[in-house]
Each structure stands twice: as C-alpha cells, then as structure tokens.
Amino acid sequence: MFENREAIFSKLREILVEMFEVDAEDVREDAHLSDDLDIDSIDAVDLIVRLKELTGKKIAPEEFKSVRTVGDVVTAIEKVVAEG
C-alpha cells in the first residue's frame, strides 16, 4: 500500500476525499493543505491518527510540524515507512 511515492499519494488522496470530502482533482502534490483544501490543524490531528492506523507505525506529531502541502505529507509518510 505504501511501496512507492505514487502509491502513497493515491492512498492519501483516497483518505482526504473520504475524511474531509475534498474534491479528488484538487488533491495534487503542490496543493496547500489549509489554503487549497481547507484542512485545518484539528483535521491534521485526525489525519495523523488515521495514518498511524494504516501504517501501523508511530507517528510523532513533530514529523508533521513543517507539513504545508500534500507533497509534504507524502514525504513525511515515506520517511515514517522507511524508518520501519
């Protein structure tokens, strides 16, 4: 499910659409979470909880501190999965 960047991205898009009802077309690597997708810090907490469940890994909220875009989230997940 998280084998490469594309797979992570498409799973993340699926999650964002399901959790926050954003439009799938709006989810691009460069889409800004709060400005373009209206995802706020409370949503981010829910998103991290969800990602923890999916990856089965511990995710420290600090890893998401500098996250601004969808691409940043993908990178953060990549890192978490790689650290395995």
Partner 1 sequence: MSGHQLQAPPVKRQDRYWLRLLATACAFSLFGLGGLVLRFVLFPPLKLVYRDPQVRQRKARDMIQNAFRTFIGFMHVTGIYTYRIDGEEQLRKPGQLVLANHPSLIDVVFLISRIPNANCIVKASLFRNPFMRGAVTTAGYIPNDDPEKIIAMAAASLERGESVVLFPEGTRTVPGKALRLQRGAAYMALRAKVAPTLVTIRCNPPMLMKNVPWYSIPASRPHFEFSVAAGKQLIPVAELQETPLAARKITNQLKSYFTEECAA
Residue 73 phi/psi, 5° resolution? -65, -45
> What is the x/- site pattern for partner 1, positions 55-84, by CB under 8 A?
------------------------------
Residue 31 phi/psi, 5° resolution? -70, 130
List the one residue from 19, 29, 35, 68 that touches partner 1 (CB under 8 A): 19
Q: Is 43 in the site for partner 1 (CB under 8 A)?
A: yes
DSSP state of 30: T
Contact segment (CB under 8 A) with partner 1 among 13-21, 52-60, 62-70, 76-84 equals 13-21
Within its chain, how far is the Cα of 69 from the centroid? 9
CA separation for the pair 22, 78 (Å, rounded): 22
Residue pair 42/80 in contact by the 8 Å Cβ criterion? no
Q: Is 42 in the site for partner 1 (CB under 8 A)?
A: yes
Contact segment (CB under 8 A) with partner 1 among 1-9, 23-31, 36-44, 71-79 equals 36-44
